[in-house]
Amino acid sequence: MTNYLLAGGGTAGHVNPLLSLADEIMSQAGQHKVWALGTAEGLESRLVPQRGYELLTVPRLPMPRKLNGYLLKFPLLFAESVKLVKKYLQENKIDVVVGFGGYASAPAYRAAKSLAIPYVIHEANALPGYANRIGANGAAAVGVTFSQTVLPNSTVVGMPLRKEVLELMKTDLRFEAETFFGLDTKLTTLLVTGGSLGARRINETIEDSRALLEAAGIQVIHIVGSRAELPDVSEGGYRRISYCDRMDLALAAADFAVARSGAATVSEFAAVGLPAVFVPYPVGNGEQKLNAQDLVEAGGALVVDDAQFTPEYVRTKLVPTISNAKLVKEMSAKALSVGLQDGSRRLLELVNGVL
């Protein structure tokens, strides 16, 4: 029996791979136990208990970026978080810690190291986050999603995928998906998503291009995100929803996609062979553009800057691409060629290898 502590959270990009690894652990033979470490404010506070795992919490402590009072208090606050995690590790007799980055991971790495408990890092993005960059130096092993990620002694394991995506790869859900969304089985389907919060540029461009897409015989599943404040719409071949709780069916229905290039999105599209135009998030350190690099170089996707994703781009590039069935089929095969479908298994093997 092995006791695992999985640390991460804050966003779906951290929580979903954490839960995927937890499910993989529990599917193995043996009486293993899994705890998750996160914050009370993050997405993990809802998703972890829903999946049946116990969530241990630490305070949400952003890294200080200004010379102010918080900077002076941070070392003491961080030390208190480390002390709390050490208590969790000792009480639950944890054998190994796995961190996915984010607020909970940094104190988890420090606490594990102080108790001589091995810890393993999984980095989702092509450009590592701060907690994982610092923690990698003392890690027993480091798993990365993308080949271009630079961390010491790293191994490419891919992304631990959600259960519903894994099921999609085993079963043909196309007819069920088209029925679920009320789609025409004879038309090409475009999936558009900017992530759970949405993407303003993508939403505005697709909204302005609805007539053009309809004229080209392209029906659309448009997931606008929770911040868009746009009403759900079902008109002709256009479906607009703020949130999709059946992404497996959205992926099954789609022939092509437009999306931000978050690590999970890129990994899922490659795993199921869904070609796409990626519109990387223009703010931050540029990790989204790098996330898509392997898939773009393989020919399974295109990338366009946020400012260049306009109705003109839809007219001159997106519609001609989607309308070329032979090209779309070739892009799908090329996406599959770089997709890793067993990230959870590969990560667990890396983790168990340090025990």
Q: Which CATH number fits domain 164-338: 3.40.190.10, 2.60.40.60, 3.40.50.2000, 1.10.10.10?
A: 3.40.50.2000
SS3 (DSSP) at 115: coil
Residue type, 72: L
Q: Write the secondary structure of 186-209 as one string of H (helix), E (strand) and C (coil).
A: CCEEEEEECCCCCCHHHHHHHHHC
Does 3-159+341-352 carry CATH code 3.40.50.2000? yes
> Confidence band (pLDDT; 50, 70, 90) for 166?
confident
Determine the Cα–Cα distance for residues 266 and 71; give it in Å rounded to an integer: 36
Alpha-carbon distances, residue 277 vs 79, 156, 235 (angstroms): 44, 24, 24
**Residues facing residue 284 across a β-bridge:** none
Instruction: Give the predicted TM-score (pTM) of the model.
Output: 0.91
Could you tell me the residue ranges of all domains in the chain?
A: 3-159+341-352, 164-338
Share of the chain above pLDDT 90, in %: 77
Encoding tokens for residue 115? 């108790």
Please, what is the average pLDDT of the chain? 92
Per-residue pLDDT tens for 307-322? 999 999 999 999 999 9
Is 132:101 a contact under the CB 8 Å cutoff? yes
> Residue 197: what pLDDT?
62
> Average pLDDT, stretch 185-203?
88
Same fold, 3-159+341-352 and 164-338: yes
**Closest alpha carbon to 21 in 120, 103, 111, 104:** 120
